[in-house]
Structure 1
Amino acid sequence: MSDSKPTLETLRDTIDQLDRQIQELINKRASCAQQVADVKQAGMEEGEKAVFYRPEREAQVLRRVMERNSGPLNNESMARLFREIMSACLALEEPMSIAYLGPEGTFTQAAAQKHFGHAVRTLPMATIDEVFREVESGSAHYGVVPVENSTEGVVNTTLDSFTHANVTICGEVELRIHHHLLVGANTKENSISRIYSHQQSFAQCRQWLDAHYPAADRIPVSSNSDAAKRMQSEWNAAAIAGEVAAEIYGLKKVASNIEDNPHNSTRFLIVGREHVPSSGQDKTSIIVSMKNKPGALYELLAPFHEAGIMLTRVETRPSRDGTWAYLFFIDFEGHENTESVKNVLKHVEELAVYVKRLGSYPKAVL
């Protein structure tokens, strides 16, 4: 009786054939993307600029990829592969520049690459305000900024920047945050007496540090990337940073995933200059200022409840325009062009002193 199981050689031949087919199909897709760019460009009036990146279209494509996936690769792995294919194809149409809160190696850069893929040019900025300015001026196509962490809460600088910046939220991305204890080639691991990291990372790893390095000095720096960079010259120090920083600076992991909360994640927002059409699964963000009176918040939120619209976040920040005046930052499900959301926003605008629409955008897919 012959053995019907395929041999290693046969399986490798099959993989080679599949690789050729995959490569041909990717290049066909890239060619089609170039034709799309030509069609868009030909349809522009003189002086107009074609828009190649469509956040709602990409969200729809990635959702369909995940819906029809049958394994053995899981949905997220499959979507990440398509994300990179789409990124490379889009770069043939128009290479994009993405500003992010730097320096190189931060979690914000990782979020930018997760959302846009690796075929974009990432531009590190020193502050969140600078990210907004790069987008407003047109020096960057889009910007990526952190807005909230599941452990440490909202990033106030980002919320404050939205009050005066002339940008639109075009998307969101959620990133699971894993912190690692890193050392350099010259570090004596038994002599670690100081640990560098961002203050927020120290807060997220407090219990682990108390258990494993209670006597080490915890020295806050401007970013985890800055902490990683210092490992090149220090022999008695370690840094807390992420995977990207470890790769960039060639550091060794002494301990992995040291965050106290295993579900620790950060939400980032994509800011741009264009309004985004509905993708079918969207969020909308607004800023509202109400008269300072009893029941103001209840009066503001009641229309959402009556319309059956799900609120996903409500934050309060002091207004710069007056003492004891406050702004409400509200995220809710739905697109501003749908009838139910239009009616609620109209009602809110009649009640409020001030309303700023920050944009409607696809819910995070990855």
Structure 2
Amino acid sequence: MMNIDELRREIDKIDTDLTALLEKRMNVSGAIGEYKKANGLKVFDSAREREVISKNLSHLQDESLSPYIEKIYTSIMEESKKKQKALSADKLTIGFQGVEGSFSYEACIKYADANGGINCTPRNYSTFDSLCNALLNGEIDRAVIPFENSSTGPVVEVYDLLNKYSFYIVGEVYVKVNHNLMVKEGTDINNVREVYSHPQAFMQCKEFLSCYNYSQISYFNTAMSAKYVSESDRDDIAAIASEAAAKLYSLKIIEHNINYNANNVTKFIVLSSEQLKRADADKVSIIVSIEDRPGSLADLIELFKSTGINMTKIESRPDIGSPFKYIFFIDFSGNVCDENAQKLLKLIEENTREFKFLGNYRAY
């Protein structure tokens, strides 16, 4: 039987051979990435990925090693995808919920402009879930999604999606939101019976709407509601949407700026499947759950005081897996490269029941 030194020398020899093969594989993967870029092909191919894993597992003589080898190949392909994505980094595909003319579309453009005018291709999805699945499957590089409104507060569905998916927040964008009541040309305002828009828009325009007896019909998105009204043959419906949507879908605005808060702003977050590091990052977002005991939340807050770091936000949401227990979404100022921020994150992870790092990015 070989002694441990002999076994380690054998491992070293295998590692040398493995490194050379991995280098060769990454170079070929890069060539594939160049081909995909030149031919407009997407980086992620789920069918090919499953084929590679299955084929290589079939070569194993010891099937008990399958779970370990599968993880290794999954990791190799993740790094290959990163290399291929880097080759096409000069053009990002950014997904958003809704259609052109929506505030989410505007947020996409603002994010690109705020990051050096990067060349981006916006791609629309009808729901938040379909948007997140597109990011998960590599169809898009970023997802821009509404997170909080200055009038109506958090978009709770998005908080739940952040907990559900393993995405990172890599940026944020603020968009000034002014809602307008619009109809097709020729529609008599006195004949309007139904108004279509997103539930958030209805809430932000509740004072205006309280003066009328319109039926409020919830729709996927403000711009999608404008598109629906534009394409409908009915003359008794209206939409609440942006001025850009009215122009895009040839609708006539009959009431401008009907939101009750003149300073109505929506914060959008930008999601990525990969964590991005930037030297000027100054905001950290995390999710935690804490023990159900007196003082546990106070103890958590004390960690911020003891490290001298400013908590800028804390928001609770029900813990889906534990009835009547809660998880906390927390933002604080800092950069994870700083020793003090690293210390705080370590303390939080050690003193909470569950911990999830959401990202370190530049505050808007």
Tell me the SS of whatever aligns to 1:120: strand
> Pairwise mapping of residues 1-366 of structure 1 onto structure 2 (< 5 A)?
46=27, 47=29, 94-117=90-113, 119-211=119-211, 214-232=212-230, 233-364=233-364
| Paired letter, 1:229 | K
State the distance in 1 between where 2:242 and 2:111 align: 17
Counterpart of 2:170 in 1: which secondary structure?
strand
How far, CA to CA, are the matches of 2:296 and 2:89 in structure 1?
A: 49
Which deviations, in whole Å up to 9, do the C-alpha atoms of 1:202-247 show, x marking residues without a partner?
1111112234xx2233222222123212322231222110133212
Structure 1 unaligned residues grouped into runs of 5+: 1-44, 51-89
Provide the rounded CA distance (Å) in 2 between the counterparts of 1:238 and 1:132.
30
- Is 1:96–1:141's contact at 8 Å kept on the other side of the alignment? yes
TM-fit CA distance, 1:274: 2.9
Distance (whole Å) between structure 1 residues aligned to residue 100 and residue 126 of structure 2:
10
In structure 1, what is the equivalent of residue 13 of structure 2?
none
Partner of 2:276: helix, strand, or coil? Answer: coil
Tell me if structure 1 keeps the 8 A contact 2:97–2:221: no
SS at structure 2 position matched to 1:131: helix
Q: 1:323 to 1:217 in 2, by over 3 A?
A: closer
SS of corresponding position for 1:96? strand
- Is the Cα–Cα contact under 8 Å of residues 180 and 256 in structure 1 kept in the other structure? yes
In the other structure, the counterpart of 1:35 is: none
Q: Displacement of 1:330 after TM fit? A: 0.5
2:71 is aligned to none
- The one-letter amino acid paired with 2:90 is E
Does the Cα contact within 8 Å between 1:228 and 1:240 map onto a contact in 2?
yes
> Where does residue 20 of structure 1 map in the other structure?
none
Equivalent residue number for residue 68 of structure 2? none
Q: Is the 8 A contact 2:108 2:144 kept in 1?
A: yes
Is the Cα contact below 8 Å between 1:286 and 1:358 reproduced in 2?
Answer: yes
Partner Cα separation in structure 2 for residue 223 and residue 284 of structure 1: 29
CA contact (8 A) 1:286 1:355 kept: yes
Letter aligned with residue 113 of structure 1: I
Instruction: Answer yes or no: is the 8 Å Cα contact 1:279–1:362 preserved in 2.
Output: no
SS in 2 for 1:322: coil
- The offset of 1:335, in angstroms, is 1.6
The 1-side partners of 2:299 and 2:335 are apart by 22
CA deviation vs aligned residue, 1:270-291 (integer Å, no higher than 9, x gap): 0113322244352110010111
TM score, norm. by length of structure 1: 0.71
What are the Cα deviations for residues 163-211 of structure 1, in whole angstroms up to 9, with x where unaligned? 2312211100111111011111231234323222222111111112234
Please state how far the C-alpha of 1:97 moved relative to its aligned partner. 0.9
Give the conservation status (yes or no) of the 8 Å contact 1:135–1:143. yes
Q: Specify the SS of the correspondent of 2:91.
A: coil
State the superposition RMSD in angstroms. 2.4
Q: How far 1:91 moved relative to its partner?
A: 12
CA contact (8 A) 1:186 1:234 kept: no
Cα shift at 1:305: 2.0
Structure 1 residue 93, shift from structure 2 partner: 6.3
Counterpart AA for 1:264: N
Deviation by residue 1:248-284 (Cα, 9 ceiling, x = unmatched): 2111211221110011111111011332224435211
Contact kept, 8 Å, 2:126 with 2:220, in 1: the verdict is: no
Please give the alpha-carbon distance, in whole angstroms, between the structure 2 residues aligned to 1:207 and 1:187. Answer: 23
Aligned length: 280
- Judge conservation of contact 1:91–1:120 (CA < 8 Å) in 2: no
CA distance in 2, matches of 1:216, 1:131: 31
Q: What residue identity is the alignment partner of 1:199?
A: P
Distance in 2 of aligned mates of 1:92 and 1:289: 38
What SS does the aligned partner of 2:360 have?
A: strand
Counterpart of 1:23 in structure 2 is none
